[in-house]
Amino acid sequence: MSSSILHPTASLKPHREESLLGGHLWIFSGALQQPPHWIEPGGLVDVKSSTGQFVARGYYNPRTDIAIRILTHDLEEAIDAEFMRRRIRSAVELRQVFDPTRTNTYRLIHSEGDGLPGLVVDRFAEILVAQIHTAGMQRLRPLLSDALVEETGVRGLLLRNDSQSRRREGLEIEGPEVAAGDVSAQVLVRENGVQFLVDPWQGQKTGFFLDQRDKREALRKYARGKRVLDCFSYTGGFSVYAALSSGETRVTSVDISAPAIEAARQQFALNGLDPDRHQFLIANVFDYLEQARSNGEQFDVVVLDPPAFAKTQIARTQALKAYRRLNMLGMQVLRPGGILLTCSCSGVIGMDDLLGALSQAAQRLQRPVQLLETYTHGVDHPINLAMPETAYLKAVFCRVG
Ligand code: SAH
């Protein structure tokens, strides 16, 4: 069997192989009995149990708490161009659930969830935008471009290696770079039949937040003919859906980013909506809500989709307070019987935490809350069942009395 060992080996402490055999893809440095020798950060490594059995193959980084991320549990599977194509083909097959005449934008590769740790690829019509988050995936980059373009038939691939998380891995923050074909300044996409212009070069993350697609669709029915407040609107994802639900609906979009708010206006026009019948505000949501509360403003529907308040376990307590405060403020501008959509994209905050913050807010304000619908990610953000800790998005629709 050892004849198929292909790379430097790392050995685990006793019994540390169990979660890996269950499909988990991370090995923390504390689980290693013997780290691999003579290996560059991000280099490939074969992992053995304490009794010397092959367990998995992955890549190693001595700088990070997660020392090894697993790419395969199959001794015979080499990490080569064919491996990359198999993983990408499998990801492409899952996304065939989307009818391209209605939805031609989705996450194509969701890192661990698609068996490619450290890689995120979003599809915007005929363009792919990729982000490499780890040293190991960076080393596999030569295998990526051809496989991604050929397996999807897209016109261009843009690399957006500007995530701050790269520093932890010892990687540089890079500017956007065309890795294949050509990539225009803006891309027109369809999501559930709604049109959006995406800026893959300068937009936040890859240009558009695809993980809210199903929640945006769910919002439509609550928004018909209503006054809707979209907090942290970015380029108006929720706002456009709401405004399209009925000619009577009036939407206020609030975001701290001026370019995002400008883009939101454009999305309205693009979808045949008159932006002048709606409000677009560049503001800090917390300040805006306090002001709106003092002015006695009341909305029928409030959307709260803030950025991640906590990126680490240490920041959790502070983040829970921030969620509570935000949800209180949201409820205070919501008329009795109004609908609140509250979201959290902090990985360290669970659904129970979000519901806890929500119920504390409700208790303090003495407002009864009826839970209506709960959501996580869309189907294009699959979560490896063995790694529930990689799930990050929670969204709750409720009615606040
Ligand atoms: N709901 C959006 C995505 C929101 S992402 C969609 O469906 O596309 C989070 C947004 O919050 C970003 O656009 C960011 O600019 C904005 N933001 C971050 N902090 C903010 C603050 N304090 N006040 C207002 N907007 C903020």
> How far apart (Å, rounded) are the C-alpha atoms in residues 141 and 400?
49
Angle at 190 between CA 165 and CA 159, to 5 degrees: 30
pLDDT of residue 2: 43
Comparing C-alpha atoms, which of 320, 342, 326 is closest to residue 396?
342
Query: Are the C-beta atoms of residues 255 and 276 closer than 8 Å to each other?
Result: no
Interval between CA 284 and ligand 1 midpoint (Å):
9
Comparing C-alpha atoms, which of 278, 282, 104, 289 is closest to residue 187?
104
> How far apart (Å, rounded) are the C-alpha atoms in residues 48 and 65?
19
* Residue whose structure tokens are 């003092």: 294
> How far apart (Å, rounded) are the C-alpha atoms in residues 46 and 68?
10
pLDDT of residue 122: 98
Query: Are the C-beta atoms of residues 240 and 196 closer than 8 Å to each other?
Result: yes
What torsion, rounded to 10 degrees, do the Cα atoms 345, 346, 350, 353 define?
-100
Q: Residue 142: CB partners within 8 Å, gap ≥ 6?
A: none
Would you say the CB of residue 284 lies under 6 angstroms from ligand 1?
A: yes
> How far apart (Å, rounded) are the C-alpha atoms in residues 255 and 8?
49
Would you say the CB of residue 307 lies under 6 angstroms from ligand 1?
A: yes
pLDDT tens by residue, 77-134 = 999 999 999 999 999 999 999 999 999 999 999 999 999 999 999 999 999 999 999 9
> How far apart (Å, rounded) are the C-alpha atoms in residues 14 and 52?
10
Mutate to test the pocket of ligand 1, among 232, 323, 345 (most ligand atoms within 8 A of CB): 232
Would you say the CB of residue 242 lies under 6 angstroms from ligand 1?
A: no
Query: Are the C-beta atoms of residues 305 and 232 closer than 8 Å to each other?
Result: yes
pLDDT of residue 314: 82
Would you say the CB of residue 151 lies under 6 angstroms from ligand 1?
A: no
Which residue is catalytic, options 231, 343, 345, 398? 345
pLDDT of residue 1: 42
The ligand 1 atom at the shortest distance from the C-alpha of residue 343 is 1
pLDDT of residue 38: 85
Comparing C-alpha atoms, which of 61, 26, 71, 68 is closest to residue 41?
61
Low-confidence ranges of the chain (pLDDT < 50): 1-3
Would you say the CB of residue 309 lies under 6 angstroms from ligand 1?
A: no
pLDDT tens by residue, 309-330 = 987 778 889 999 999 999 999 9
Cβ neighbours around 151 below 10 Å, total: 18
Mutate to test the pocket of ligand 1, among 124, 233, 255, 284 (most ligand atoms within 8 A of CB): 255
Would you say the CB of residue 106 lies under 6 angstroms from ligand 1?
A: no
CA-proximal residue: ligand 1, atom 11 (nearest): 232
Would you say the CB of residue 392 lies under 6 angstroms from ligand 1?
A: no
Residue 92, both tokens: 């492409």
Helix (H, G, I), strand (E, B) or coil at 58: strand
Interval between CA 288 and ligand 1 midpoint (Å):
13
CA-proximal residue: ligand 1, atom 16 (nearest): 232
Q: 345 catalytic, yes or no?
A: yes
Query: Are the C-beta atoms of residues 319 and 349 closer than 8 Å to each other?
Result: yes
Interval between CA 94 and ligand 1 midpoint (Å):
29
Query: Are the C-beta atoms of residues 356 and 320 closer than 8 Å to each other?
Result: yes
Would you say the CB of residue 212 lies under 6 angstroms from ligand 1?
A: yes
Q: Where are the alpha helices (DSSP H) in 224-367?
A: 237-244, 258-270, 285-294, 316-332, 351-365
DSSP state of 143: G
- Say which amino acid occupies 300: D
Residue 231, both tokens: 């907090």
Helices (H) and strands (E) in the chain, counts: 11, 20
